[in-house]
Amino acid sequence: MQLSEQELVRREKLAKLRALDINPYPADLYPVNHTSKQIKSNFEEGKQVIIAGRLMSRRIQGKASFAELQDSEGRIQVYFNRDEICTGEDKTLYNDVYKKLLDIGDFIGIEGDLFTTQVGEKTVLVKNFKLLSKALKPLPLPKQDAEGNTYDKFNDPEMRYRQRYADLAVNPHVKEVFVKRTKLFNAMRNFFNDAGYFEVETPILQPIPGGAAARPFVTHHNSLDIPLYMRIANELYLKRLIVGGFDGVYEFSKNFRNEGMDRTHNPEFTAMEIYVAYKDYNWMMDFCEKLLEHCAIAVNGTTESTFGEHKVNFKAPYKRITMRDSILEFTGFDINNKSEDEIRQACQDMGIEVDATMGKGKLIDEIFGEKCEGNYIQPTFITDYPKEMSPLCKEHRENPELTERFELMVCGKEIANAYSELNDPIDQRERFEHQLRLAQKGDDEATEFIDHDFLRALEYGMPPTSGMGIGMDRLIMFLTNNQSIQEVLFFPQMKPEKKAVEMNDNEKAIFEILKSENRMDLNELKSKSGLSNKGWDKGIKGLGKLGITKVEKTDEGLYVELK
């Protein structure tokens, strides 16, 4: 591992601290009794406090210094005075330890008295301090010039997601997103608990990936010598609990889908699913809008939320429209009583890409996704889905072609999905078998497995039930105005980090020119590098061996490009 100059200097300071018999990583408890927020909200002149946190800035002026300490609640100004800290002849603690051996980013503990500066800043007068943890790598803190311009901000998304610990330390606004995320979970949990429903846990490793249509992650259980699948949904297990006699159960579940990644999808995500006996989807719509109104207020103090250019209001009630009426409104095409071939032709007439593997439900879903869903900015319930789209949903009581299902759309995205649950075991078996045929036909979104144990559970009898799932990551995106799911996950999945490549001076000279152009004529690049023939040969060959560049022969000549 190659260390930077600053990292080397910090390691030298580490050795000097130990030479002074100061443990840079003490194990004993530090008796913190105040946070920065508590100090500011209950400030008393002269009060004695003990605080701890990171040293984030300091201005040393001889025997005195103002600094900032950052703890979990924010920042507080602290004042170091040599004679207050070192009351005897020995001034080492201030002159050497504080001034020379501490760095920005170090964790320190402080005992001191509160006072207000002449400019009205609430401050801690340091009486004693202790190093609690030495930071060996400098924080990527932004800098300000004399004119007050800020530069070198730590705002590259990839770096921030990879080093979330540094992101949280230097970008305080990021922490607020995750504080709100926790508030959302707590608000939802309290709402369910107050309604009398029971929080449960179901298996993450499952013998059959059921409850949704998605590509699972597969692993192997050595002791049982069987394949297992990471949960794609927890629906079928929660409904087993309704069979067992619970009237209402819910779970915040980590789900895993081995599929694409983009700004709204992560292979590991959090969903909430709730199932309530003796209810239907009409009741669940009322319940859902009251729940989300409650959650929005708990998170932001208001039902209104900003998402990009849109102002969204989660105050109940929400608009309701059937899928048929929605498609009719935005396309003029009526899906009612149409055959699969007629719907496929309609898709083609609308310029929607389709293929022979798509069944009727998938085709309708494509029309809605392409032509309708983006129009729904305010919370809107889309209801009464075609049966082919909903293999776990009860047949509509008035139209056997449809199911009693709704999805809640916000800003063109689905955040909730709910059913009057199918509890007829014979009908359920036929739906599973139909899905199996679609999968065999090539539909990659159809269910490939029949969960025979779930069917057995239904045969014991499941009461009329309504269930709902909410994508928690997507919901918190809407409530915190974040366009990317990576912003609301502490540690989103990332591609493997590329290892830093060490280059010699000849290689660096060529690379620095090429990285701004990406591709250049070989002779032009050689000329711009200013290297001797020998230096050029070594440099271009070295970059090729490192896998950084490649030379391509074209009709116009030889070109060098970055890989």
Annotated binding site for Mg(2+): 407, 414
Peptide bond into 317 cis (omega under 30): yes
Round to whole Å and give the CA distance between 121 and 77.
8
CB 185 within 8 A of CB 193: no
Do the strands 198-199 and 248-256 form a parallel or antiparallel pair, or are they unpaired?
parallel
Identify the bridge partners of residue 129 per DSSP, sorted by sequence position: 110
To which H or E segment does residue 365 belong? Answer: helix 360-371
Contacts of 60 (CB under 8 A, 6+ apart): 99
Round to whole Å and give the CA distance between 356 and 333.
21
Annotated binding site: 407, 414
Q: How many CA atoms lie within 13 A of 223 on its CB side?
A: 0
User: First vs last Cα of the chain: how many Å apart?
Assistant: 24
Query: Could you give the angle at the alpha carbon of 210 between the alpha carbons of 231 and 373, nearest 5°?
Result: 90
Round to whole Å and give the CA distance between 289 and 551.
60
Query: Could you give the angle at the alpha carbon of 404 between the alpha carbons of 403 and 405, nearest 5°?
Result: 95
Supply 357's token pair. 């593997």
Q: What are phi and psi of 227, to 5 degrees?
A: -75, 145
Contacts of 106 (CB under 8 A, 6+ apart): 54, 55, 131, 133, 134, 135
Round to whole Å and give the CA distance between 419 and 466.
6
Distances (CA, A) of 395 to 167, 213, 214, 234, 329: 49, 19, 23, 22, 24
Helices of type H across 419-504: 425-441, 452-459, 472-480
What sign has the CA pseudo-torsion 223, 224, 229, 235?
negative
Round to whole Å and give the CA distance between 368 and 383.
12
Q: For residue 357, with 0-12 CB atoms within 10 Å meaning exposed, 13-18 middle and 19 or more buried, which class applies?
A: middle
CA 315 to chain centre: 25
Round to whole Å and give the CA distance between 170 and 384.
48
Distances (CA, A) of 95 to 80, 320, 380: 11, 70, 65
Q: Is 48 helix (H, G, I), strand (E, B) or coil?
A: strand
